[in-house]
Structure 1
C-alpha cells in the first residue's frame, strides 16, 4: 500500500494536543496564582512535564502511530525527526500565540512576573546592587516582548523536538528492507 500521508502531517494532531495541554497548564497556574506556585514542587513538575515528559510522550506516540498505522510497521530516523519537530513546532506555535495574546489581554501579568523575579533574585542573592537588579529585570522584560517570545519559543521547542526525536527514532526505527 502506498504511503499518502507525510510524516510531518501525521504529527499535526499530537502537536495541537500538546499545545493545548501547555495552554491549559498555564491557565490553571495563572488562575491558582503564579506567585504561590513559583519555586514549588508543583511549578517544577509543570516544567518537567512541558520540557521533558510531554515532548517525549507525544513524539513517541506520533512516531509509533505513523509506524504502525500509516507506514506498515516501518519508520526511518528521518521520518521520526520530521514527526517530532513538527509536533513540537506546532505545540510551540500554539503556546507562543496564546502567550502573546494573553499578555495583550492581561498586561499586568508582565509586571507580576517581574515582581516575582525580583523577589527571587533578592532571595537568592541579597547582595545584588540596584544596577545589577535593574539590568537583570530589563533583560527579562526584553525577553517577554512578543516579537522575541514567539520566535524564541518556536526555536527552543523545535530544538527540543529534534533532540528527543533522535532518541525516539533510534528506539523505534525499522527501515523497509531494500528489494533487489
Structure 2
C-alpha cells in the first residue's frame, strides 16, 4: 500500500475548521459584548471549549479519519502525534493571525478588555491600591502585545496538542503488523 497523504497534511483541514470555529466564537463574543458577559460563566465555558473540548474532539476526528479513510484502519502513535500537533498548530496560527489583525483594526479592543479586567479586579479586591492595580494592568497590556500573544498562542496550543495527541493516540492506535 502506498500512502498518498501524510498524517500531518491530513490534519490540516481539521485544523482550519478548528481555527475558524475559534475565530467565530471570538467574533460572536465581541458582537454580543464582552462587558455584558464579563460577570457570567460564558468566558469560562468558551475557554474550556477552546483549550480542552475542541482540541480533543478535532484531534480525535483527525486521527480516526486518517485511520479509517486514508490508512486502511491502521494508525501509529507517531502518526497521531503528527496529526494532532498539525491540527492544533494550524488552528492556533489562524486564531493568532486573526487576533493580531483584529487588534490592529480595532485598537480600542485592548482598552475595553483592560477596563473589564480592572472592574473585575476591583469587584474581587476593593481594597486594592491604585499602584497594585496599575501594575497588574500594565502586565496585562504587555501580554496583549501581538509579538507576545502570537508565539505564546502557538506554543501553548502546540503543547496541549502534544498532550492530547499522546492520550488519543494511545486510545485509537492500531499498528500495522506489516510495517515492522
Residue 20 (structure 2) pairs with residue 24 (structure 1): no
Alignment of structure 1 residues 20-59 onto 2, 5 Å: 20-59=20-59
Equivalent residue for 2:163?
A: 163
Alignment of structure 1 residues 16-165 onto 2, 5 Å: 16-165=16-165
Alpha-carbon distance in 2 for matches of 1:179, 1:24: 41
Gapped regions of structure 2 (runs ≥ 5): none
Deviation at 1:41, TM superposition (A): 2.5
Alpha-carbon distance in 2 for matches of 1:11, 1:72: 17
Query: Which deviates further from its counterpart, 42-51 or 71-80?
Result: 42-51
Q: Helix, strand or coil for the counterpart of 2:74?
A: coil
Gapped regions of structure 1 (runs ≥ 5): none
Alpha-carbon distance in 2 for matches of 1:121, 1:19: 30
Q: Helix, strand or coil for the counterpart of 1:11?
A: helix
Equivalent residue for 1:8?
A: 8
* 4+ runs deviating over 3 angstroms: none
Alpha-carbon distance in 1 for matches of 2:48, 2:139: 24
TM-score, normalised relative to structure 2: 0.96
- Count of residue pairs brought into register by the alignment: 180
